[in-house]
Amino acid sequence: MIALVSGEVAVRRGDHVVVSCGGVGYRLGVSAETLSHVPRIGEPVTLFTYLIVREDALTLMGFATEEERDLFLLLIGVQGVGPKMALAVLSGGPPRELLAAVAASDTARLVAVPGIGKRTAERIIVELKTKIPDVQDAVTATSLTPDDPRALARDGLVGLGFAPTEIDKLLEGAAGDTPEALITHALKVSRR
């Protein structure tokens, strides 16, 4: 899977951007929220991605943050919500506000999104409410600074196949100021 695309903005439209990387232009479907974070044409940009594989197409979606990508993945897991509708929901505001609306069972917030009816909004709330703690873990992890050793160690452990909830337990009580020390501690704890 393509996890992120980093390059120069070549095209910037209402529902997609094209990022030029090494002579190849990647078309990424984006939400209005992500588009608001994309710089002008010719400027450097990094977007997190998700590749949708269909029988007749490969579609790359782009996100300004991992938090937004995680919420997108949860949304497309809801019955009746496809990638386009998920992007429409994400266009309704920052992921934290959308998560707060789900947690508060605020159907009015979701119904305000074009294409989302009352039944779909209720289904999204019912299906996502049980999954919100997983998203909150991701929100906490991505809100740290990129140079934060815990965030880097967490990313490394995810790359090694550990689940986010498991990583929190493995890093509990870890004393280290480098990602390497934290990962070493986590690996020792996991062997017990």
Tens-digit pLDDT profile for residues 71-88 = 999 999 999 999 999 999
Question: Between the CA of residue 109 and those of 51, 136, 144, 177, what are the distances in Å?
Answer: 28, 19, 28, 42
Please give the average per-residue pLDDT across 79-100, as a whole number: 91
**Beta strand segments in the chain, E:** 4-12, 16-21, 24-29, 44-53, 58-63
The domain limits of the chain are 4-63, 66-134, 144-191
| pLDDT tens figures, 4-61 | 999 999 999 989 999 999 999 999 999 999 999 999 999 999 999 999 999 999 999 9
Q: 129 and 102 in contact (C-beta within 8 Å)?
A: yes
Fold entry, domain 144-191: Helicase, Ruva Protein; domain 3 (1.10.8)
Phi, psi of 41 (to 5 degrees): -60, 135
| pLDDT tens figures, 121-153 | 999 999 998 887 654 554 454 444 456 778 777
Fold entry, domain 4-63: OB fold (Dihydrolipoamide Acetyltransferase, E2P) (2.40.50)
- Residue 173: per-residue pLDDT: 78
Question: Between the CA of residue 64 and those of 132, 156, 174, what are the distances in Å?
Answer: 20, 21, 30
66-134 has CATH 1.10.150.20 classification: yes
